[in-house]
Structure 1
Amino acid sequence: MRHFFSTNQLTTEEIYQWLETAEAYRTGKTSWPKLDNQFVANLFFEPSTRTKMSFVVAQRKLGMDVLDFHTETSSMKKGESLYDTAKTFESIGANLLVIRHESDDWFNELDKKLSIPIINAGSGKTEHPTQCMLDLLTIYQEFGRIEDLEIAIVGDLKHSRVARTNALSLQRLGAKVYLSAPEGFEDESLNLPYLSIDEATEHMDVIMLLRVQHERHIVQSKTENYLNRAGLTKNREKKMKPHAIILHPAPVNRGVEIDSELVECNRSRIFKQMENGVYARMAVMTHVLQEWGKI
């Protein structure tokens, strides 16, 4: 594997292997490698809190030197291309690039053109593989399996890279995946059954909520009464199965896709997902660097 652009690059066995590595790092059963001689650059061209900072924490736990990059003070402001920016970091000694960009297929511009590995930290509306890995880890921790679980992905499917990546990966791992979205937020490219929000909350093992992605809407969608129409209210949460859990990639629009009081309720694993993000990204980076013979 030259780069990690998509979970589709991994076999199901490799997905579980990477999850086991992440869990071993989290529990201390396996010590992680010390990469004191490795330089990494996080090139984020979209706003990010959780993904970027969990990568930074993961990199520092691994002992990597993190190269500073901010779009607002970079030569991108002078018209430099993504390729030239990435090539610059390769030229000055970066051993790994982590990139998030608003383009759906930015990685095609870089694939086979750089001699260092690249990890996709988010590409437009199409892929978010490291978010998928931490979501899979959270589900696996909870149930000890993914196969045969009933999982609903709920919300702004049309504009969500998380929905697409997770739906396809969960399906490959044997989960029974369903979709739920208000009118105008559906993703017709995903060939999966739809449920109403009430059906989803009553019958699923996992409710995976999505943020309304206003920044990707060509025409701004109205979210008045969204919570009652399509979100997770307190009344709906009461009807969930006793063991069912709530996931959300965050940031959370409290009171829009989920009632604010449910963000930290007993069912919620939202902040657990954030914790798992550090270890999942440590595992991704170590496996990718191992593929390149850097560890």
Structure 2
Amino acid sequence: MRHLLSAGDLSRDEAVLLLDTAEEMRHIAERPIKKLPTLRGRTVVNLFFEDSTRTRISFEAAAKRLSADVINFAAKGSSVSKGESLKDTALTLQAMGADAVVIRHQASGAPKRLADAGWIDSAILNAGDGSHEHPTQALLDAFTMRRHLGDLDGRRITIVGDVLHSRVARSNALLLATLGAEVTLVAPPTLMPYGVESWPVETTYDLDSALAKTDAVMMLRVQRERMNAAYFPSAREYSRRYGLGVERLARMPEHAIVLHPGPMNRGMEITADVADCDRSVIVEQVTNGVAVRMAALYLLLGGAREAAAPASTPSATTEGQA
């Protein structure tokens, strides 16, 4: 892999390799000494044009645990706020010697533009572009499901909520289908995207029927900041029809787990009781996010060093620090 731009770009073998590598990184993260020297001397730039907490900090922690140098670049307070273009920003990063650029942008397609334009030689990782995709979120979600459910082939996954504006829903639909899962999208008709019939999913407007046979349910945040119209009558009505509360949780199979990419609108798409229950893996998703992003950075940047330094692989380095 040269870049990580879309969950749809990953073959099954590539996706499994990422998830297996993340498993190794997760084990290393549980050790007293969590650092690896794999990316020592490499520079990772977090280029965020949109606000973020979990994703930015997760990528920063992942890069630092691999011993990379990290530069955090926020659009607010930078030359971008003065009108600097994406091209000029990329040329600046190229001049600074960035080896990898983690980009979040409000415009769909911005990471691909950065990867294809020839402005910069760095590996590009998509940390969310508009309403398009968020591949590392899909990978950490699949990683979390796999740890609880085993092989995802044939598993039934339900994704509920604001699918229209959700880059997480699109990336999860593509990745989970690649891994063999059966994905069902549940949303009000107004929040189901145009062209969804071309996605590798089933769709329904009836949440209760989908929950009765699901192995995992992912609740999506209602993205009011992206809405410019009334997509549903009221928050109360949305919660009644599409929110996950204790009663709906009780109708799910006993082994089924609850996920949410965060941040949550508690009391709207999910109640506090469900968000904090023992079947919720929401906090674990955050932990797993660091391991998955370590794996992505390791595979994109570490491979070039392995021929010269075989001991930089996770297993060899772990043994060396034991």
Same fold (TM over 0.5): yes
1:247 has 2:259 as partner:
yes
Partner of 1:154: 160
CA 1:144–1:288 in structure 2 vs 1: closer, same or farther (change >3 Å)?
A: same
How much has 1:183 moved relative to structure 2? 3.1
Q: Deviations 1:5-33 (Å, cap 9, x if unpaired)? A: 01222210111111011011111399844
Structure-2 separation of matches of 1:17 and 1:225: 42
Distance 1:190 1:276, change over 3 A: same
Structure 2 residue 179 is matched with structure 1 residue 173: yes
TM-score normalized by structure 2?
0.87
The 1:65/1:13 distance shift into structure 2, 3 A limit, reads same
Partner of 2:225: 215
Bigger mean CA deviation after superposition, 129-138 or 111-120: 111-120
* 1:32-77: CA deviation from partner (whole Å, max 9, x where unpaired): 4432211111011111111011111111111111113222211001
Aligned residue among 63, 66, 69 for 1:65: 69
Counterpart of 1:19 in structure 2 is: 19
Q: CA–CA distance in 1 between the matches of 2:89 and 2:305?
A: 23
**Superposed displacement of residue 189, structure 1:** 2.1
Q: Letter of the 1:199 partner, please give it.
A: S
Please state whether the residue corresponding to 1:89 is helix, strand or coil: helix
Identity of aligned residues (%): 42
1:273 and 2:293 matched: no
Change (3 A) 1:228 1:133: same
Q: Structure 1 residue 126 and structure 2 residue 121: aligned?
A: no
Contact 1:157 1:181 in 2 (8 A): yes
Contact 1:227–1:259 at 8 Å: present in 2 too? Answer: no
Report the more deviating stretch, 109-118 or 39-48: 109-118
Report the Cα distance in structure 1 between the residues aligned to 2:146 and 2:283, rounded to whole angstroms: 16
Point out where structure 1 has 5 or more consecutive residues left out of the alignment.
Answer: none
Aligned with 2:122 (options 116, 120, 135) = 116
Amino acid at match of 1:159: H
Q: Which residue of 1 aligns with 2:108?
A: 104
- The letter of the residue matching 1:4 is L
Pick closer, same or farther for the CA change 1:242–1:108 going to 2, 3 Å. Answer: closer
Q: 2:315 matched to which residue of 1?
A: none
Structure 2 residue runs of 5 or longer lacking an equivalent are 307-322
Q: Paired residue for 2:238, among 226, 247, 259? A: 226
Cα deviation for residue 102 of structure 1 reads: 0.7
**C-alpha distance after superposition, 1:106-153 (max 9, x if no partner):** 124322312111110001111100001100100110111110001111
Distance 2:95 2:150 in 1: 44
Give runs of aligned pairs for residues 253-264 of structure 1, distance below 5 A.
Answer: 253-264=265-276
Where 1:83 maps in the other structure, the secondary structure is helix
Superposed displacement of residue 230, structure 1: 0.8
RMSD between superposed Cα atoms in Å: 1.7
Question: How far apart, CA to CA, are the structure 2 residues paired with 1:72 and 1:208?
Answer: 31
**What amino acid is aligned across from residue 301 of structure 2 in structure 1?**
L
| 1:171-201 Cα distance to aligned partner (Å, 9 max, x none) | 1211111111123111232223223111122
SS of 1:119's equivalent? strand
* AA aligned opposite 1:88: T
Q: 1:194 aligns with which of 203, 210, 213?
A: 203
TM-score (norm 1): 0.95
- 1:143 and 2:146 are equivalent in the alignment: no
Number of matched pairs:
294
Q: Does 1:91 align with 2:101?
A: no
Does residue 81 (structure 1) correspond to residue 85 (structure 2)? The answer is yes
Which residue of the partner structure matches residue 53 of structure 1? 57
Which secondary structure state, in structure 1, belongs to the residue aligned with residue 265 of structure 2?
A: coil
1:43 paired residue number: 47
Q: Distance in 1 between matches of 2:255 and 2:112?
A: 42
Q: Distance in 2 between matches of 1:187 and 1:200?
A: 19
For the residues of structure 2 that align with 1:255 and 1:60, how far apart are their CA atoms? 36
CA distance, structure 2, for counterparts of residue 58 and residue 237 of structure 1: 33
